[in-house]
Amino acid sequence: MRILFIDIDTLRADHMSCYGYRRQTTPRMDEIAKEGVSFTNYYCSDAPCLPSRSALVSGEFGIHNGVTGHGGTAADRIRTGCSRDFTDSIDENNFHNLFRKKGMYTASISTFAERHSAWWFNGKFNETYNVGDGGLESGEKVYPYIEDWLERNKNREDWFLHVHFWDPHTPYRAPAAFGNPFENAPFDDWIDDAEFDKHVKKSGPHSANELYMFDDRETPQLPRTQGKIKTRTDIKKVIDGYDCGIAYTDYLVGKIFDVLKKQGIYDETAVIITSDHGENMGELGIYSEHGTADQPTCNIPLIVKWDGCKKGHTDTGLHYNIDLVPTVADLLDLPHAPNWDGQSFAPSLLKGEDCGRKYLVLSQMAHVVQRSCRWEDYLYIKTVHDGYHLFDDEMLFNLTEDPHEKHNLAKERPDLCAYGARYIFNWQIEMMRTSKDRIDPMWTVLAENGPYHTWGELPAYLTRLEQTGRTEAAQKLRERYKSR
């Protein structure tokens, strides 16, 4: 059996044409959607990059594996400790080893491990290829490795190949030669003048005035990436840069499919397409960033083409990315590991059965400290550290009526906030009962000076806010963080 796992960084599901996006960003991946199963409510349990892939590979929530942030203690896995055997059971039971257990030759073409010093990610691959730019490379540097590997292994019957593209990740870096296929294409301009006025007054990294995290610097070598948004017209430039990254990746993915077809193995090759997290494009006043526990950051695509699975089917149930591990184990007829937190949705793939969960708890602790609950039409967000965005402590959105999270219903519907808060609390208690060290890494992040992407930034940022006419925001931040 041959399995191709396409891992596209920062791919927001609703910016793919197969998910209903009005722009034709993913025509080649749309082909897979027609041949397989697409999941519309599939979420990373822990955002963003490092926590998400840690959860996927381990099959565990971040609260169990320990990785919930990008720096400090919470960027490393919890040590197994005295129960560790000759090899670590977490690695023995990881996602990549499923394929080894089934007798497949495994390979990865990715710089993820280098970017985050997450060398465990390479565990159980027979070979790994590191382009060497730490995630700043464009797919034009990655694709030749893929084509070469497929050519050298064209006669191998059993393999699992993980390929990783970064192009939708900020800074947007699709090659200039690719052009802008969306230059004259309309976009979903849901940000009216009143909403935009809120955005330009807002504080926080990757807000309209600071697209380069905490300032507005620009890099001539990256012309698709802006420093700030001055007018509503500039919003289109941001979205075009992001969509070009998606479209360029789709072009490269199409080239992979063409190689498989030329080799005569496309039809028999299973394909899984997914991402680690999405990207805010104005939601919560944030652009070109994935720093919250909300819908655009945590809702990710999953498309599966697999022999015996339904074709052209759409699954609308609630699923985590950690659910993929037991699902693939079922598809490969392998036993489940005791440490996995995931829940298999193999019956959905094979029979179209509803395997969705009642609710999901989502976490983000690299840019902010938030836990959210997704259930029915609603998303409830509890903020513990706002990452200098001045978020309300509680936010509630009806995603069916308000997909871009414009209207916070928390004050209008305290009853629904109570539901969300209870779901999160009950989940936390259950996770702590089954935790290795009985420590919630959320408190570790807070004890170590908050989320990594805020470390040491506040003093200079307060000055910048005052210099750019946002003195009121600076005063509120001083009051909120006066002990720091």
Determine, yes or no, domain membership for 475: no
pTM recorded for the entire structure: 0.97
Which residues have C-beta within 8 Å of that of residue 258, sequence separation ≥ 6? none
Percent of the chain with pLDDT over 90: 96
Q: What's the confidence (pLDDT) of residue 286? A: 98
Q: DSSP 3-state assignment of 286?
A: coil
Range of the domain at 166: 2-357
With a cut of 70, say whether residue 484 has pLDDT above it. Answer: no
Number of compact structural domains in the chain:
1
DSSP per-residue string spanning 30-80: HHHHHHSEEEEEEE-SEESHHHHHHHHHHTS-HHHH---SSSSGGGSPPP-
Determine, yes or no, domain membership for 448: no
Q: What's the confidence (pLDDT) of residue 483? A: 61
pLDDT band at 301 (very low <50, low <70, confident <90, very high): very high
What is the side-by-side order of every strand in the sheet holding 46-47? 46-47, 360-364, 369-375, 378-385, 394-398
Determine, yes or no, domain membership for 364: no
Question: Mean pLDDT lowest for which of 206-210, 221-225, 445-449, 461-465?
Answer: 221-225
Determine, yes or no, domain membership for 107: yes
Determine, yes or no, domain membership for 26: yes
The per-residue pLDDT of the chain, averaged, comes to 96
Q: Which two tokens stand for residue 208?
A: 């309209």
Q: What is the mean pLDDT of the segment spanning 300-322?
A: 97
Percent of the chain with pLDDT over 70: 100
Which of 187, 292, 278, 308 is closest to 236 using CA atoms?
Answer: 187
CATH number at residue 274: 3.40.720.10
Question: Mean pLDDT lowest for which of 78-82, 319-323, 373-377, 451-455?
Answer: 78-82
